[in-house]
Chains A and B, each alone.
Chain A
């Protein structure tokens, strides 16, 4: 292999003016990227900045709407994963692409099974080759084990082995260390260095500042689907990278006005640990305040919420709601006056094919009619009050929930818990997929809940939302709270600093 040095004139793979639009979202616009052989290229960006989209375009899983690819200077088309494979582009996916009931060896060589002279799969060679690839990573797994029998870290290592086995010329790694131990990460880094020295062009997506500078030769920052800046790692510093990542245009000038005195303790979480990766979380929310829970995707925010709501078992620690420790499933927690507005409202928060009326009263029928007899007039009155006070449009109780806009669907979910008498609201990404106008309305609604004495825990990947809406915020990193920011220190920059490395 020819020796390549950083900044050699001809990129192995070059992307020019790549754009990709999904209905309503511009995922990538005019991205130019040069990947040089023998270089580790770190890709950074806030949640939703376009890193994953870019990676999928690179691998042909998404077809770019516009733009060109050049491989070693020659124009090429990447329209499918098969195209990418032919060019020697391999990807280590974050979502596991393993088949649960095939062996480790079969998974590594899926689609490329070695065959013997009878045309049958050559199991002996496949297992020997798989063991050799795993050996390079310092692993001696029994290659006959099925993927379903492996733990998360082991699956990730098999995923890495799978990509390595391709003898790739371009290797894309999407947060490969998110699920593995330090020891496995060290083995991985050694391999990354060796591949780089062998002339492979490596794209490495990471949220860990330390990795960016330990591994990276070049750093590119994405924001809002655009390339903000590409530079040599030696020419930059963590502070500069964070400054480049923040400042997403969210398009809402929403600013919270109210900042009254917090009241009674609504939620108190002490040293919470779960099997899902929450590792010693302390936080509290008082009535009358909006508290943010921020962090990058995978930091453990949703896991905290699931545990608080009783959807996942707690290993150790306490969850107190309105001063009392709770145990039992979600129905017990809901009965204490906790309303969860889930991230995926269409699947978890709404019965889409049922009417607005039915959805609004779904959680409060026993409260409205404690004797079990349904009274039509009273139910209609309750629905009408909710529709008016939440300003749900169109205000037709009989309309099916699926025909309302995202913002109005969200209001129905809120109304459902409101009518059930909730006083602690947990919002998980309440504005995802909602247009700007509706966002402002949702925030006004959240604020009104708080003014009326409720407590709100808000989870959002949009840093500016946390900054503008919350009275204070916790930042999570790798299953723990890495810091708490009071209102006067609440900024996108401080959140990102806590989310990505220790010192704020």
Chain B
């Protein structure tokens, strides 16, 4: 590339540095602030706690980034997570091993996500409505399957797995890292990833390129369902039981993390690493407020306010960047 740029007579366009999304500064500043101002924040135990608290959210927020990049939304992930937990615990209770049980939960997730995707991509129904309906269906199914009661995990294997650690890294954090790595490869190193950007940015272009865009569009939602089903392992591992009402509102945190990370709801513009920073920021904020004794309802308010602030700053900076370009 450098050699071709050095050739004379070629018209070249040099890449300008894009401004870093605000989340980079926000996450660092928030962590620094908490470390200075919040007693008990900067301890090894607390940092490890934050990691454990956000691990499941990372797994959910990774495919949510793909969904939002495709100009979509998935409100059903929390309900699918909890339905997956119920399926997992009940399959284990029937005497199945942990792998077949996890596959069953994953299958439920893929199926529900696939239905979401079909309705959105094939019939053109709005993602908000489709996944909201799926939220209701999945939450209801979880209640039907359990009669509204918690299902205690029948085997100690889940708890053992959850408590396991490799090289000092706890299992949930390993899962989060694996989800991040996998999604990163998917988004930046496969055709599918390029099509995610294209479905959000210019669907027509993808169709004109001879790609069956709808198939990939369905796959985005199926991936979201799959990750929710697999994350059920972390959900029931933490409590050693499957609650049909668990993980209510986690879709809010997941969407907030994606948006905090600088991914836009329009034109397929976004950044996966930003989502991870978004999750960490939410985790740090909640943890710090917890340590300060702020009640949880006010924590939700603070996440909402943070999201608005970051979006505002990002949009101002972006318009200046693009304005300078015109």
Contact = CB atoms under 8 A, between A and B. Distances in A.
A118 B13 CA distance: 32
Interface stretch (A134-142, A264-272, A492-500): A134-142
A325 interface: no
Given A100-B269, A140-B4, A120 B189 contact: yes
A85 B13 CA distance: 30
Contact of B204 (A80, A82, A97): A97
Nearest to B13: A141
A275 B326 contact: yes
A275 B189 CA distance: 38
A142 B10 contact: no
Interface of B: 1, 4-5, 7, 9-16, 18, 185, 189-191, 193-194, 197-198, 200-202, 204-211, 267-270, 322, 325-326
A135 B10 contact: yes
16 contacts: A61-B208, A93-B208, A97-B205, A98-B205, A99-B197, A102-B197, A102-B201, A110-B205, A120-B185, A120-B190, A131-B4, A140-B4, A140-B7, A141-B13, A150-B13, A151-B325
Interface in A113-143: 113, 115, 119-121, 123, 127-128, 131, 135, 138-143
A183 B4 contact: no
A99 B10 contact: no
Contacts of B204: 97
Interface residues of A, number: 45
A99 B322 CA distance: 16
Nearest to B7: A140
7 closest Cβ pairs, A-B complex: A111-B209, A140-B10, A140-B12, A82-B210, A97-B205, A99-B201, A142-B15
A99 B206 contact: yes
A111 B208 CA distance: 9
Nearest to A181: B11
A110 B4 contact: no
A99 B13 contact: no
A135 B4 contact: yes
Nearest to B211: A111
Given A102-B197, A120-B185, 13 more contacts: A80-B210, A81-B209, A99-B268, A101-B197, A102-B194, A113-B194, A119-B190, A140-B10, A143-B1, A148-B267, A149-B18, A149-B325, A184-B11
A138 B10 contact: yes
A102 B191 CA distance: 12
B5 A99 contact: no
A500 B227 CA distance: 58
Nearest to A184: B11
B176 to A, nearest CB: 22
B201 A113 contact: no
Contacts of A275: 326
Contact of B210 (A81, A119, A151): A81
Contacts of A127: 1
A102 to B, nearest CB: 5
A119 B269 CA distance: 25
Contacts, number: 118
Interface in A54-113: 59, 61, 80-82, 85, 91, 93, 97-102, 106-107, 110-113
Nearest to A144: B15
Interface in A189-235: none
A113 B15 CA distance: 22
A142 B202 contact: no
A102 B270 CA distance: 10
Nearest to B11: A139
A101 B267 contact: yes
B11 A140 contact: yes
A113 B193 CA distance: 11
A364 interface: no
A145 interface: yes
Contacts of B5: 140, 142
A154 interface: yes
A85 B1 CA distance: 29
A141 B11 CA distance: 7
Interface in A10-37: none
A80 B13 CA distance: 35
Contacts of A145: 13, 15
A111 B185 contact: no
Contacts of A184: 11
B326 to A, nearest CB: 7
A262 B211 CA distance: 58
A148 B189 CA distance: 20
A97 B208 contact: yes
Contacts of B185: 120
Nearest to B209: A111
A229 B13 CA distance: 43
A275 B12 CA distance: 23
A110 B1 contact: no
A112 to B, nearest CB: 8
A207 B204 CA distance: 26
A91 B185 CA distance: 32
A189 to B, nearest CB: 15
B190 A121 contact: yes
Contacts of A121: 189-191, 193-194
B4, B14, B190, B208 interface centre (most CB from chain A within 10 Å): B208
Nearest to B5: A140
Contacts of A142: 1, 5, 12-15
Contacts of A82: 210
Interface in A375-425: none
Contacts of A149: 15-16, 18, 325
A90 to B, nearest CB: 10
A113 B210 contact: no
A131 B202 contact: no
A100 B202 contact: yes
A107 B211 CA distance: 13
A184 B9 CA distance: 12
B12 A110 contact: no
Contacts of B16: 149
Contacts of B191: 111, 113, 115, 121
A110 B15 contact: no
Contacts of B268: 99-101
Contact of B198 (A110, A131, A143, A144): A110
A98 B12 contact: no
Nearest to A128: B1
B11 A106 contact: no
Contacts of B207: 81
A111 B212 CA distance: 9
Nearest to B213: A111
Contacts of B202: 97-100
A106 to B, nearest CB: 5
B194 A110 contact: yes
A127 B3 CA distance: 13
B267 A100 contact: yes
Contacts of B1: 127-128, 131, 142-143
B12 A99 contact: no
Contacts of B211: 110-111
A275 B206 CA distance: 30
A445 to B, nearest CB: 37
B199 to A, nearest CB: 9
B99 to A, nearest CB: 25
Nearest to A126: B194
